[in-house]
Amino acid sequence: MKRIGQIEKAYEIARERYQEIGVDTDEAMKRLAKIPVSIHCWQGDDVGGFENPDVGLSGGIQATGNYPGKAKNAGQLRDDLNKMLTYIPGKHRLSLHAIYLEANGNIPRNEIRPEHFKNWVAWAKEQKMGLDFNPTCFSHPLADDGFTLSHKNPDIRRFWVDHVKCTREIGAYFGKELGSPCVNNIWIPDGYKDIPADRYAPRERLLEALDDVLSVPYEKQYLLDAVESKLFGIGSESYVVGSHEFYMMYAMKKNILLTLDTGHFHPTETVSNKLSSALLFLDEVLLHVSRPVRWDSDHVVILENELIEIASEIVRNQFENRVHIGLDFFDASINRLAAWIIGTRNMLKALMYALLEPVESMKEYENAGDFTARLAMAEELKTMPWHAVWDYYCEKNNVPVGYDWLRDVKEYEKTVLLQRS
């Protein structure tokens, strides 16, 4: 009780401090409560899935580390998700990949159906969460040569077109069952390790394949389509078929979502600087928030400058209903629940920080040409007691404050995770 009193006292002091600069902390918390983050299921098992867990990762996907306790089946993964969600304030979403189906026997990816995900829908209803989805165009024999939707073999290309069509049907099923549109994000690994002689033909095939994929109409209240670019990958260092320019043009043409992954651009580029441009021409975008360390390494998200800039860009322009925030990182070198919790809470902390900015005052300084005041305010905000507001928000949502959650996670590791064979 003493600690609760300290948290509330600290919050009252913070509220007064923010009132002095024209910021309503109560309103900030209300806004944050309305922003869902789509938490990725694949952190829990290193992108293994349940289709064939013994098959290694391919398509440039790597999970480094061998920390004990990864989920081996859907029941274990849902148990871990249930535990993880108790440490995350607010109501959020879960993003699934197609390989997380549950079926009797081996179901080819071009034959997966909604019934293979009925257990996930039942779980999501219990959690009062929405579901998002992703076709899995990697870790499969028909993707071993590095090409899927742009494959020169029409039979292989047809297999992947049909797979993505299946995921759109499943995504629409999610949206209809859960009353919240499912974002179905298309990413493919297609590309060349070395400089190709023909850059045009694979992109022409990809264009035709995507048109085929999207030929079946679904209501947007159930399904939102997204396409994700990448600068380079392992095995596609010199040429990626689905480049940023390709997908940006395609998303504009088809009026679908463009996915901006924080690890899929040159290290000197920032996604925070792309949002305002993209949203002048697109209705909505999907974010994949990760942490690239010199390349698309998918490290656990930390509270760094670019994460705060992304959150600020969303908040300052009131993009909350136009930007779908998804997480995409996986680390097998640390406790997987802790990775989920750290990354998700940091995304929410960044949003909290952004919601506590005196945006109108900063814009007034900027419009008046007073860049000195703008910079001074931006820097002084860094030592404002935003963390006291965050702690209070956690307490009000009945989740642990500070790193109190770590003790519980360590106990779960000892009693549950380490008991898995």
pLDDT of residue 78: 98
Length of the chain: 421
User: In this structure, are residues 230 and 273 in contact, taking their beta carbons and an 8 Å threshold?
Assistant: no
Q: DSSP letter string over 33-75?
A: HT--EEEEGGGGTTT--SS-TTSPP-TT-------S----SHH
Residue 61, pLDDT above cutoff 80: no
Handedness of CA 421, 116, 146, 223 (dihedral sign): negative
User: In this structure, are residues 261 and 230 in contact, taking their beta carbons and an 8 Å threshold?
Assistant: yes
User: What is the rounded distance in angstroms from the CA atom of residue 304 to the CA atom of residue 271?
Assistant: 14
Average pLDDT (384-402) is 97
Confidence of residue 233 (pLDDT cuts 50, 70, 90): confident
Element (H, E) at 131: strand 130-134
Share of the chain above pLDDT 70, in %: 97
Angstrom CA distances, 194 to 62, 197, 383, stand at 20, 10, 48
- What domains lie within the chain, and their CATH numbers? 35-362 (3.20.20.150)
User: What is the rounded distance in angstroms from the CA atom of residue 173 to the CA atom of residue 118?
Assistant: 10
User: In this structure, are residues 138 and 58 in contact, taking their beta carbons and an 8 Å threshold?
Assistant: yes
User: What is the rounded distance in angstroms from the CA atom of residue 297 to the CA atom of residue 323?
Assistant: 23
Average pLDDT (365-389) is 97
Average pLDDT (389-416) is 97
Average pLDDT (300-317) is 97
What does R_g of the chain's alpha carbons equal in angstroms? Answer: 22
Q: How far apart are the first and last CA of the chain?
A: 40
What residues have CB less than 8 Å from 379, skipping those under 6 apart? none
Give the pairing of strands 191-192 and 239-240: antiparallel
Residue 108, pLDDT above cutoff 70: yes
Nearest Cα neighbor of 261 from 292, 234, 240 is 292
pLDDT of residue 345: 98
User: In this structure, are residues 88 and 344 in contact, taking their beta carbons and an 8 Å threshold?
Assistant: yes
Tokens at 156, concatenated: 């292989």
pLDDT in tens, 179-197: 999 999 999 999 999 999 9
What residues have CB less than 8 Å from 363, skipping those under 6 apart? none
Confidence of residue 344 (pLDDT cuts 50, 70, 90): very high
User: What is the rounded distance in angstroms from the CA atom of residue 160 to the CA atom of residue 183?
Assistant: 19
pLDDT in tens, 264-282: 999 899 999 999 999 999 9
Average pLDDT (168-172) is 98
pLDDT of residue 382: 97
Residue 62, pLDDT above cutoff 80: no
User: In this structure, are residues 190 and 206 in contact, taking their beta carbons and an 8 Å threshold?
Assistant: yes
Confidence of residue 1 (pLDDT cuts 50, 70, 90): low
- 135, with CB counted inside 10 A (0-12, 13-18, 19+), is buried
Average pLDDT (161-166) is 98
Q: Which residue has the tokens 């999207």?
A: 214
User: In this structure, are residues 170 and 113 in contact, taking their beta carbons and an 8 Å threshold?
Assistant: yes
Residue 94, pLDDT above cutoff 60: yes
Segment among 50-59, 224-233, 285-294, 296-305 with least mean pLDDT? 50-59
On whether the pTM is more than 0.85, the answer is yes
pLDDT of residue 51: 87
pLDDT of residue 130: 98
pLDDT of residue 59: 59
3-state secondary structure of 414: helix
Active site residues: 187, 228, 230, 261, 264, 288, 296, 298, 328
Segment among 59-68, 151-160, 199-208, 280-289 with least mean pLDDT? 59-68
User: What is the rounded distance in angstroms from the CA atom of residue 228 to the CA atom of residue 303?
Assistant: 24
What residues have CB less than 8 Å from 218, skipping those under 6 apart? 168, 171, 172
Angstrom CA distances, 397 to 32, 83, 320, 335, 347, stand at 12, 15, 21, 24, 16
Tokens at 259, concatenated: 């996915």
User: In this structure, are residues 322 and 275 in contact, taking their beta carbons and an 8 Å threshold?
Assistant: no
pLDDT in tens, 28-42: 999 999 999 999 999
Q: Among the residues of 34-100, which ranges form H helices? A: 74-85
Confidence of residue 63 (pLDDT cuts 50, 70, 90): confident
pLDDT of residue 294: 87
User: In this structure, are residues 186 and 135 in contact, taking their beta carbons and an 8 Å threshold?
Assistant: yes
User: What is the rounded distance in angstroms from the CA atom of residue 114 to the CA atom of residue 101?
Assistant: 9
| Averaged confidence pLDDT in the chain | 95
Nearest Cα neighbor of 95 from 62, 127, 131, 120 is 131
Residue 381, pLDDT above cutoff 80: yes
Residue 217, pLDDT above cutoff 60: yes
Share of the chain above pLDDT 90, in %: 90
